[in-house]
Amino acid sequence: MNLKLRKQKLSITIIGKQRFWIGVSAGIISAISLSIFIDYSREAMRFVSILSGDLMILHENEASFFDYFFATISTVFGLG
């Protein structure tokens, strides 16, 4: 069973400009959507921590780290 998944030569002229830009746009939209979803999920988990008796408060450098980390993951999944 020899599946040919890779193309020998890949260029915009082969796949077409419209298909290329639709793919780039879909990737960017999915990356942004995933990033927003993860950020809201993190905030939801923070507020759920009230049930254990204490609100989890992140310092500025911790929040910045999580923002960059989740943005990187979203970009990899969205554009990958």
Note the pLDDT tens digit of each residue in 1-19.
566 666 677 778 888 889 9
pLDDT confidence of residue 55:
73
Instruction: State how far the Cα of 25 lies from the Cα of 23, in Å rounded to an integer.
Output: 5
Instruction: State how far the Cα of 79 lies from the Cα of 72, in Å rounded to an integer.
Output: 11
State the average pLDDT for the chain: 82
Identity (one letter) of the amino acid at 42? R
Note the pLDDT tens digit of each residue in 29-58.
988 888 888 888 888 887 888 887 777 777
Q: Where are the domains of the chain?
A: 29-79
**Which pTM value belongs to this model?**
0.66
Instruction: State how far the Cα of 71 lies from the Cα of 64, in Å rounded to an integer.
Output: 10
pLDDT confidence of residue 57:
79
